[in-house]
Chains A and B, each alone.
Chain A
Amino acid sequence: MKCTEVQELIIDLTPLSGERPSNAALEQHLQECVSCRRVAERYSSALYELAGERQLTNDPFFYDRIIKKMNDGQSVAVRKLWSSKEYYQLGRALAGFAAAVLLGIWLGSRVIAPLVTTPAVKENYSAEKQESYEQEIDYGSEALARLEYYFFDDANQEKK
């Protein structure tokens, strides 16, 4: 008999209490195989412990409690999962969470992102600035040329 077959039989034949129904092949294997014997002992112990949770005597007040529950109309099925207070608390917590997320997004885009991306902006900024300086210089030269034309170009005085 293989150990796997024996272990299946152990689950099958281990009783809640008392002796295991006799099975010659199983008993012989258990005598020879330490591993399976240990499995049988452990399974039997666990089953016995689990069965120990069962109620073995009548509770004399059980009927009275049933009647009380019946009169109160408090069955497991009608009990609410959450009270309104807990729904309110959850709503408040969710609102707080949403506000924190929005604040995070705002801070991220307005405060953190500019700090992180400063070099790129500065480079562009200086290029833009340079361009504007160049334009300014151009405008300056144009203005100077115009002034010279008005005030110092004697050849065209009459036209003016």
Chain B
Amino acid sequence: MTDSELISGLSSGNPEAGRLLVERFQQQVINVCIGLLHNRFDAEDVAQDVFIEAMRNAHRFRGESKISTWLYRIAVNRSLNYLRNNKRQKLMVEIGSVFGLFEGETIRDSREPATNFNQLEAEELKRILKTAIDSLPENQKVAFTLNKFEELSYNEIAEVMETSLSAVESLIHRAKRNLQKKLKHYFNP
């Protein structure tokens, strides 16, 4: 099934088209969400919403870009919205915890206990890199993640982010510079 057939199938409410869309793009969408959220459960939750939005709004897809680009765009927007809401929610949980609300509820942390020193060090380095990426400005973070983890070309990133090629180049360059600065103290022995 070609992209246009898939879209017309989705627009007409064909369930097979929906199943095919999910099968074909599931990994890409979930991985973008994981790249931005760093939490598998949250990423799957957001990815489900991405497909729901795509299926509901398939009739609006004009076919000017690839379906994958369109899905990446929805995934990025949804993930960023989720992060913004989550920030607010974390703040409210913290306010609530001051008054003794949400007893037993802690901010989720995907870290698992490490079993030996090497694993501990690897986990620690991963956490440091994750924190450094998370602390980048939103646009730099999106551009860097799409380029490094999804291995999208600068052109594709420009399409997903609806910006120019030179802007993407600049964003990725600045992201790498910022990461270098942030990681300097941690990665230098």
Contacts and interface: CB of A to CB of B under 8 A. Distances in A.
Interface of A: 4, 7-8, 11-12, 16, 35, 38-39, 42-43, 45-47, 49-51, 53-59, 62-63, 65-67, 69-70, 75-77, 81-82, 86, 89-90, 93-94, 97
A8 B177 contact: yes
User: Which residue, of B38, B110, B183, has the highest number of chain A Cβ atoms within 10 A?
Assistant: B183
A93 B52 contact: no
B52 A70 contact: yes
Nearest to A70: B52
Interface in B16-74: 18-19, 22-23, 26-27, 30-31, 34-35, 38, 40, 44-49, 51-52, 55
B31 A75 contact: no
Interface string B98-136: 011110000000100000000001110110111000000
Given A63-B22, A66-B18, 17 more contacts: A38-B188, A39-B189, A42-B187, A45-B122, A46-B128, A49-B123, A55-B34, A63-B18, A66-B48, A66-B51, A75-B49, A76-B49, A76-B85, A81-B89, A81-B92, A86-B96, A89-B101
B34 A93 contact: no
Interface size grouping (class) on chain B:
35 or more
Contacts of A4: 180
A50 B40 CA distance: 12
Contacts, number: 123
Contacts of B128: 46
User: Which residue, of A16, A46, A51, A69, has the highest number of chain B Cβ atoms within 10 A?
Assistant: A46
A54 B100 contact: no
Nearest to A85: B101
A153 to B, nearest CB: 82
Contacts of A75: 49, 52
Given A47-B129, A76-B46, A16 B52 contact: no
Q: Is the interface of A mostly helix, strand, loop or mixed?
A: helix
A39 B48 contact: no
Given A63-B18, A81-B88, A7 B180 contact: yes
Contact of B187 (A43, A62, A81, A94): A43
Contacts of A89: 96, 99, 101
B81 A53 contact: no
Given A55-B31, A63-B18, A63-B19, A46 B52 contact: no
Contacts of B82: 76
Ranked 4 nearest A-B pairs via Cβ: A93-B99, A49-B126, A46-B125, A46-B129
User: Which residue, of A4, A58, A66, A82, has the highest number of chain B Cβ atoms within 10 A?
Assistant: A66
